[in-house]
Amino acid sequence: MRILQLHSNFIEYKPVKKEAAIAEECEKKKHRLEELVVLFTCIEQGDDETVAKKAIEEIKSSLEKLKVNRILIYPYAHLSNNLANPTTALRIVKAMEKYAKEVDIETYRTPFGWCKQFSISIKGHPLAEQAKIILPGELKEEKKKKWKIPKPEYLILTLDGRTVLAENYKFGKSEEDFKALVEKEAFKKEAVGGEPRFISVLKKFGFEWESSSDSGHMRYGPKAALMVDLAGDYAWQSVTEMGIPSFSIKGTNLFNLNIPAIKEHADLFGERLYTVRVGNEEYVLKYAACFQQFSMIKDWTISYKQIPVGMFEIADSYRLEQSGECLLGFRLRRFYMPDYHIFCRGLEHAKQVSIGVHKKIYEKIRELGNDYVSVYNLTKSFFEKNREFLGQLVEIEKKPVLLRFVPEKKYYWVINVEYNIIDELKRPREIATFQIDIGNARRFGIKFVDKNREKVYPPILHIAVLGGIERYIFTVFDTALKQKIPRLPLWLSPIQIRVIPVSDSFAKDAEKIADEIEGYQIRVDVDDRALTMQKKVREAEMAWVNYIVVIGQKEVDSGMLAVRDRETRKIREMSLRELMDEVKEKLEGKPFRSLTLPRLLSQRPQFW
C-alpha cells in the first residue's frame, strides 16, 4: 500500500464519472472538509486487511504529532503500477475506514471507483507532506467459507410414491440401468474401466482433441462441425416446441468478476473457473449461458402479461475440469451449451412449467431409442411440501428415481434434476438437466411488474433439453453402438445418401442424380474416385452412410435405382421419387443444413 499523506487546510472534491464496474453509488455534488489529513491511498497486489490495520496504526501516530484527528481516505490509483484488483482494493479501503473509526479517528472517505475533481490547500510545514509505503506482514491465505455438509442422504422414490432407503431397495429385472446409477451415486461403486468404443468412432467423424490448445479442448472437422450445427439448430427447435415465447441471443463469453452478481454466482460454481486478468481487472470465461442472459434481461422492461418468457443461447462455455478426467466428446474444458432459461410468475407457476419441460426432455431422449435414469437433488423441505409435484415427474419417467438431499439454503435452486444415460461400459453419464432457481433473479436484478404494479423477482428454470451439444452427440453415438448395425439418425447424418457410379463412364449420370437429390434438401455426395465399386461400397458403409445408390447401365436403362439401406441392411430397387418420398418422410420436422465439404470425394483431402 502506498499513501500520500497531506496535512491540509481544506479539500474540496466532486464525483464526476464512474470509472470502475464496482463503483459505489453516490451523489454528484461538491464536498468540503477543513483542518484534516488527506490520505491519497493506493492498494497494491498482495495487500490485505492486515496492511489496512498497520496503515491506520501509523496514521494514528502521525495524527498525534500533527495534533489533528480528522482524516479523509481518498482512493487514488496513480501512485503505483502494481494495483490490486478493484474488488480487493475496495475491501481494504473499507477496512481502513473501519479500523480508523474503531480507534476514534474522525473518518471520511471518498466514493470508490469514481473519477473526481478536487482542490486542496496544503499547510506549509515540514511534516505536511509525507509518503508512506505499508508492506504486508505475514500473509495468510484467505480461506473460502466452507459449508459443513452432512453425509449425503439418498432415498429412492418409486412410481407409487413410496420412499425406500437406497440400501434396502430391491431392483427389478428391467432396472439394470437404474441399479447402475444408484450404485455409482449412492454407493460410490466404480464401473469397470476401459476405453469406450465411441472414442474411435468420434475420431472417424472428425471429433478430435486440439493438441495446440489446453487439455480438454476439441476441434471439429467438416462432418463434426455439421453435426454440431445441426444439434444446435435442433436444441433451439426443441425449446420452441414447448410453446413459450422465447428469444435466441448471442453475446460475449468474458465477464467481470468485480461485478458483485457475477462474483457471487461464480463463487457458487466453485473452483472450476477459467479466469483471465486484463490490466487491473479479473474476468471469468462463462461456464454456461447464465451470465449473458441474466445480464441482458435485467435491462428489459417486462410486464406480468409477458410471463412466462424464455431466453436461449448456445453458450461457448469453459469449465476447468481436471485434465485427467477429460473424455473426448463428453467431459471437456471447452464446449457448446444450449442453455434455455424460462422466467416464471412464481414457484407454483415454475412447477407447472417444469412438467412440460420434463416431458420434452424425455421425448427427445426416447426418440433416439434410449432412456434416462434420474437423480433429483433437492432439500428435504422441498420434498415434503411438493410430493404431488414430484409424483408427476416420476409418472413421466415411468421408473423410480434417486433422491439426493442437500443442505437447506446452500444452493440457489430448490430442485436440480440430472438426467443420465448408462453407457456401453455401464457407467452413468449425465446429459440433460433442469433446475428451479429461486435466487439469481434478485442477485442479478431481474424483475417484472405484476398487476398490482409491484416488482417481482421471478423464479428461473435452467434447462438443457438435449444436454450440452457434445454430450448430445455422445448420446447419439453411444445409442448407435448398441444397435446391431450402428447408424445415426438420418437428420443428423453428415452424408445421408452416397451415389456410386460402377465406372467412370457413369460419373455424369451419378452427378445428375445427385443434382436432383440436392433439390430435395438432402445431403448427398458422389464417389467419383478411381476405385472398384466394391471398395467404394465398403468405405460408404464404414462411414455410416444411410443410403448407398449404385449407378450402372442397368439403372440408366430402367430408371430404377439399386439402393442399399443401412437401417434394413437390404438392397432395394426403387425409383428416385420413391427414395425421395421415403427420405423426406423420415426427415420431416427435423433441421436441415447443406453439406460442409465438396460433393465429389475426389476433391477431398484425406482426413478420415
Report the share of the chain in percent with pLDDT over 70.
Answer: 97
**Span 565-589, mean pLDDT?**
95
| 159: helix, strand or coil | coil
From residue 345, give the alpha-carbon distance in Å to each of 246, 303, 350, 443. Answer: 15, 10, 7, 17
| Confidence at 59, pLDDT banded by 50, 70, 90 | very high
Q: Determine which of 76-80, 268-272, 316-320, 388-392 has the lowest per-residue pLDDT on average.
A: 268-272
Amino acid at 474: F
pLDDT given at position 254: 94
| Cell 415465447 sits on residue | 245
Tell which residue, 563, 560, 342, 369, has the closest CA to residue 441: 342
Cell of 408: 437447506
Number of Cβ within a 10 Å radius of residue 151: 5
Q: What is the mean pLDDT of the chain?
A: 92
Residue 142 has pLDDT above 50, yes or no: no
User: And the C-alpha cell for 568?
Assistant: 434394413
Domains of the chain with CATH codes: 2-133 (3.50.80.10), 154-159+171-190+197-481 (3.30.930.10), 490-603 (3.40.50.800)
User: Looking at the predicted structure, is the pLDDT value of residue 141 above 60?
Assistant: no
In a 13 Å sphere around the CA of 53, the CA atoms on its Cβ side amount to 6
Looking at the chain, the whole-number percentage of residues with pLDDT higher than 90 is 81
Tens digit of each residue's pLDDT (9 = 90 or more) over 334-345 = 999 999 999 999
- pTM score, two decimals? 0.79
Mean pLDDT of 565-586: 95
Q: Span 123-150, mean pLDDT?
A: 65
Grid cell 434455455 in the structure block, residue: 340
